[in-house]
Amino acid sequence: MEEEEGGGGGSEEAALLGQHRREKKELQAKIQSMKNSVPKNDKKRRKQLNEDVAKLESELEERHKLELLSLSQKQSTDTEEKKAALEKERDERIAEAEIENLSGARHVESQKLSLILSQRQLQIRHIPSDGHCMYRAIEHQLKERNNNVTLTSLRHQTADYMQSHADDFLPFLTNSTTGEMYTQDEYEKYCTEVANTPAWGGQLELRALSHILQTPIEVIQADTSPIIIGEEYSSTPITVIYMRHAYGLGEHYNSVEPLIVTPAE
């Protein structure tokens, strides 16, 4: 039964909790032995016994709290170190992809987009590739309209809207392993990730944002006509750019800004 008390597949937290349970049992056995050694009619020794028991229980509880806190801090540090390592690896892959794409698909796509935008007196406003790119592009567009809504707010509003309108979004999400439509639990997890992680945003999230902002969102692409999401709204569209080959690591969104013409020398 010792293995069951450790539990949790050998995780540090499960092992520590198992140890705490054993120590509590051992203390209770010790307390029972102490009680058996003191006559019930000896009030003075009984009083002292109760004080000793309370002290032992308090000390054990405090030590357990400190051990759990120490473990939690250690796990937090480990998580941050892993996150930093993953971010470093991603940056290195982006740098490699930058070199590979100088004359490849990315260059061709950028040239096409530059031409499309220049005809509208616009140019690309580059957005960092950090998982938040779609939301940052929308954030930039809104700031241009003196609407200073934050990235965090956009993510939380999107998640809240998708949770409250599950019937409009759930049918379009499938489990990549099984191919089945998301369960309610999977959908809840998806929405939580939209709100609290750098989960990449796409057309579903743009649809939610068009309803939240009550504004059309125009998505410009290199090889197809622009897509308008939220056509039912009459205000001036927010414009973002969808790129398939931005960093060689997958899809990416950028924003737009007025074209800056450099005077000829």
pLDDT tens across 70-91, in order?
A: 888 888 887 888 888 888 888 8
Catalytic residues: 130, 133, 252
Residues 6+ apart with CB under 8 A from 133: 127, 200, 201, 252, 253, 254
Check whether residue 178 and residue 247 sit in a common domain: yes
Counted domains in the chain: 2
Q: Check whether residue 71 and residue 180 sit in a common domain.
A: no
- What is residue 10's DSSP assignment? G
87, 200: one domain: no
Question: Is the whole-model pTM more than 0.85?
Answer: no
Sort 243 into a burial class: Cβ within 10 Å, 0-12 / 13-18 / 19+. buried
- Statement to judge: residues 117 and 134 lie in one domain: yes
Same domain, 82 and 124: no
- The residue range of the domain holding 35 is 10-96
Q: Do 148 and 244 share a domain, yes or no?
A: yes
- Judgement on whether residues 88 and 164 belong to the same structural domain of the protein: no
pLDDT in tens, 7-59: 443 488 888 888 999 999 998 998 888 888 888 888 888 888 888 888 888 88
pLDDT at 67 exceeding the cut of 70? yes
Do 87 and 115 belong to one domain?
A: no
